[in-house]
Amino acid sequence: MSISLILLPLSIALGASVSATAISTAAAATAMVGSKTALAVAAEANLRHLKHLRELYEKGHGETLPPIETIFNDMTLLQKTLEEHGLSVSVVSDHQLLCRIGEVLLDYTRQTAGEPFRVAVSGLQNIDNFLNEMECFEREYKQNVQSYTYNKLINNLSESNMTVAEETVLEDNSILLTINI
């Protein structure tokens, strides 16, 4: 018997409440598989966040913007993403990290593990450059989450004596897996 799963390019786009560390079994990973509709909803929410940042900047908040919720909810993957982007990251605690993009300070904080980070921005001089960087971080984070999810799923399948019968990368970079159970 076989089942098919699709790992979306943003497999955690179903909501910021799903973290990569929450994937402990193949069954949990299948719960992360969402529809393209859910992906579109998450993408729309992300665009609203970036639009909100632009509006705040343009309304005169100047160099410092109030904290705004991000899609990032896994500390390890967030740190990895920022470092892969060439930024120096300082981990303050399990719930806070700091990094700089030139003169801009990004202060990522959250109250408890598993909830999305909020980012406070200070030292902002150019909103367009900053928003481009944020979009790039989010794209890279999504790729890292998909990669983590894929690797964790493959490991869990192996431990459960299940095998991948077929794997196809679709046009939108979704991964279609057919699994022998």
Please give the average per-residue pLDDT across 69-83, as a whole number: 88
**Out of 41-45, 51-55, 58-62, 174-178, which region has the weakest mean confidence (pLDDT)?**
41-45
Contact of 34 with 7, CB cutoff 8 Å: no
Q: How many domains does the chain have?
A: 1
CA distances for 149 relative to 31, 86, 125, angstroms: 11, 23, 36
The pLDDT value recorded for residue 55 is: 77
The pLDDT value recorded for residue 18 is: 36
Please give the average per-residue pLDDT across 102-109, as a whole number: 89
Q: Which domain holds residue 104?
A: 2-180
pTM (2 decimals)?
0.65
Q: Is the pLDDT of residue 15 over 60?
A: no
Q: In what order do the strands lie in the sheet with 163-169?
A: 2-7, 175-180, 163-169
**CA-CA distance, 165 to 181, in Å (whole number)?**
10
The pLDDT value recorded for residue 99 is: 93
Q: Is the pLDDT of residue 17 over 50?
A: no
Please give the average per-residue pLDDT across 149-160, as a whole number: 87
